[in-house]
Amino acid sequence: MMKTPITVLQELMVKFSESPEYECVAQSGPQHLAVFEYRCAARGHVVSATARSKKEAKQEVARLMLARLAAAGLSVPPPYAAPAAAAPLACDEPSAGAVGTGSRSYKALLKELCQEYNLPGPEYTLEGDTGPAHARRFTARCAVGAHARIASATTKKAAQQLAAQQLYQYLRENLARLTEDFVEEDALARAHERAMERYVEARADAPHRPDLGQCVADYHLGLLLHLEEEQVSLGADALEAASPDAEPETALQAVAGALGLRVEWHSLPAEGGALTLVRLAPSSPPLVFCARTRDAAAAEALTYLRLTMKFKGQK
């Protein structure tokens, strides 16, 4: 019967009067689909692996450590001397590979570590790609200042994660006394919060999308369909507050601002002189009014808004 990776690694380390160190560093996913991440340290090397149970994760990380030691020149008995590929998991978590990403983003951890201790930010470069189209392997380089690590994987993203993990673990091990107050879970939480903030900002800056489900018969209600009650109330108040003697363009700016709309001006060449176009955005369908002068175009827009507010109040 073939010996397990844990047994082979233990016997190999006995020759050096050492023992491999195992640690369960993370657990993710619901209880019925839990994924465990184990880390193993031996002879100055550190690798990680994930699996659906602690026992499987420990065996997998021992197998990866044997492959790492074999690559470093130690005499490892077959079949564990060959580079190992981690078994895929039936979940969304990526496989660990030779230095797995596990259940966490080491790119995020490395970035947080650099920010917290005033290190230059990590830089990633694609060093190359090899193999046929159906079995491509990408090699990525991760560098922080003068320190760098290179890793390969079947995707660019995975290769960057693996390189980031190697560099992150190297920095943590060699700067342990200086970074002992760095808490990984807190760092990941901060990274997640910042990512969500960027997502919200991106959504806020995203262009208005037309309502593809809107019927042509409802086009005249286009503005009403995406205005909140509070906006309509503010717009109606702005219309009432507008002085009859005020310039239409000034009044339009005030009412549009209350409704949360932008006033955009355009010029359209035409016979007898250019036409002035004023657009209220965002709206679906687009609201565009045309006249010979800016004041006349603004007056047309104000008339539409006044009728719209009146119709809304009657509903």
Per residue in 182-197, pLDDT (tens digit) is 888 788 788 777 777 7
Q: Of 234 and 109, which is predicted with more confidence?
A: 109
Q: Of 113 and 103, which is predicted with more confidence?
A: 113
Q: Which CATH class is domain 220-314?
A: alpha beta
Give alpha helix (H) positions in the chain: 5-14, 54-71, 106-116, 156-174, 184-205, 222-225, 229-241, 248-259, 294-314
With b for 16 or more beta-carbon neighbours within 10 A and e for fewer, the 174-193 pattern comes to eeeeeeeebebeebeebbee
CA distances from 71 to 49, 123, 160, 257 (A): 18, 26, 21, 67
Segment 57-72 shows an average pLDDT of 89
pTM for this prediction = 0.38
Q: Where in the chain is the domain with CATH 3.30.160.20?
A: 1-94, 105-181, 220-314
Rounded distance between C-alpha atoms, residue 151 and residue 208, angstroms: 41
Q: Are strands 137-144 and 287-291 parallel, antiparallel or unpaired?
A: unpaired
Rounded distance between C-alpha atoms, residue 189 and residue 191, angstroms: 5
CATH number for 105-181: choose from 3.30.160.20, 3.20.140.10, 1.10.3720.10, 3.10.20.600: 3.30.160.20
CA distances from 186 to 102, 116, 155, 257 (A): 17, 12, 28, 41
Q: Of 272 and 37, which is predicted with more confidence?
A: 37
- Could you read off the pLDDT of 2-24 as tens digits, one per residue? 688 899 999 999 998 999 999 99
Could you tell me which of 171, 130, 127 has the C-alpha nearest to residue 151? 127
Question: Is the pLDDT at 158 greater than 80, yes or no?
Answer: yes
Q: Which CATH class is domain 1-94?
A: alpha beta
Q: Of 141 and 228, which is predicted with more confidence?
A: 141
Segment 55-83 shows an average pLDDT of 84
Question: Within 13 A of 195's CA, how many CA atoms are on the CB side?
Answer: 11
